[in-house]
Amino acid sequence: MSEPSDAGSGKILARLACRLLRAIGDLVQLLALSIFYYGVLTPLAVLLRLAGRDRLRLEPGPSLATYWVERPAAARQTDMTRQR
């Protein structure tokens, strides 16, 4: 009769260990992503913006005739063997 209860407590322990490991994993991931976002990406972003980069074309263009972006002649066909 003791075997099922051992197995039961083993399952509970395994579940607890799983949750703990997942929580640690989440914390490590949060830390790593925070360091990258605020330590690397943000300073780079600020520098690029100070240098006038506007890749998303966020600024309005009252003097522009159009907001269409012409596709360069070389890129008017796509290479389907590539993921990019």
Using the contact rule CB under 8 A, the part of the chain among 1-9, 10-18, 67-75 near other proteins is: 67-75
Among 41, 50, 51, 74, binds other proteins (CB under 8 A): 41
Using the contact rule CB under 8 A, the part of the chain among 3-11, 14-22, 65-73 near other proteins is: 65-73
Half-sphere exposure of 58 (CA within 13 A, CB side): 6
Among 3, 7, 60, 63, binds other proteins (CB under 8 A): 60
- The H or E element containing residue 62 is none
Q: How far is CA 77 from CA 1, 38, 72, in A?
A: 72, 38, 10
Number of residues that bind other proteins (CB under 8 A): 37
Q: How far is CA 75 from CA 1, 7, 26, 70, 72, in A?
A: 73, 63, 41, 10, 5
Binding-site ranges for other proteins (CB under 8 A): 29-30, 33-34, 37-38, 41-42, 44-46, 48-49, 54-58, 60-61, 64-71, 75-78, 80-84
